[in-house]
Amino acid sequence: MISRGERAANYIILSLFAAFALYPVVVILAAALGPADSGAGTGADSGGTAGLANFAAAWEIGRFGSYLRTSLAVSVFVVVVSVVLSIMSGYAFGTMRFRGRSLLFYLFMLGIMMPSEAVAVPLYFDLRSLGLIDTFWSISLPQVALSVAFGTFWMRAYFLASNRAIVEAARIDGASSWRILWQVLLPAARPAVVTLTVLVFMWTWNEFLIPLIMVTSESLRTAPLGLAFFQGQYTSGFTLLAAGSVIVATPVVIFYLFLQRHFVRGLLQGAVRE
């Protein structure tokens, strides 16, 4: 049993870690809500804006509306396709026996072990030969491939730990493999699926290298990429840059808070385990 002193020490340590993690967030928010500095740049009043007016100025000057729409479209596409493919491939690797199963699974794992920086240049030339450079697909398809690798590992681990008795009972009743997946196993897998959805959404939304290499059109810039261009092209001041950073980060925070309960439940259930 934990003593009162140990519990107090735990709370103190956790509070220190929380303060350490939240300090940069508080600094950025304070800067975004403070008075505009002298480096505000084009179209911004160097000393007259403060508070929420900084967000309006950053939104207008930095054209974040277009960037957020692109990021949202890419993230939704990548999440939907990746999660569906991961569920099906994880189910196959976790419940079925077929020739070459282990070899094919480890081939999937190369997608986790191989960083995107190592394949970015070859991938660029492959997509250019297909005529996909500077298109929506050049941003989305590579991220689908990267996400499916982890998603397969994640869902395979869950299906390996699933209740075999339920699966066998469904098979005895005449249920097909497709029906067992979608009507028997998947409803109970909601925490694992939601956790995977949140992770893929955050990774896709924050991806910077692939959009930087694959697109040149301003209309196809994602929010993180647009923020980088906003820093050097439209403003050299910290206030509007902080406001732009808050604008870019807000959708991820909202998405996480909305699904936080299921996300934590999926982690506590140990969705990734062998």
Could you report the per-residue pLDDT of 179-228, keeping only the tens digit for each?
888 888 888 888 889 889 999 999 999 999 999 999 988 889 999 999 88
**pLDDT of amino acid 38:** 52
In the block, tokens 């590992």 appear at: 153
**pLDDT of amino acid 44:** 43
**pLDDT of amino acid 234:** 60
**pLDDT of amino acid 269:** 59
Query: DSSP character for 99?
Result: T
**pLDDT of amino acid 117:** 82
d(CA 201, CA 255): 9
Residue among 50, 67, 105, 90 nearest 224 (CA): 67
Residue ranges of alpha helices (H) inside 114-172 are: 116-129, 136-160, 164-172
- Residue pair 271/199 in contact (Cβ under 8 Å)? The answer is no
**pLDDT of amino acid 47:** 47
**pLDDT of amino acid 271:** 42
**pLDDT of amino acid 235:** 58
**Low-confidence stretches of the chain (pLDDT beneath 50):** 42-48, 271-274
d(CA 225, CA 211): 7
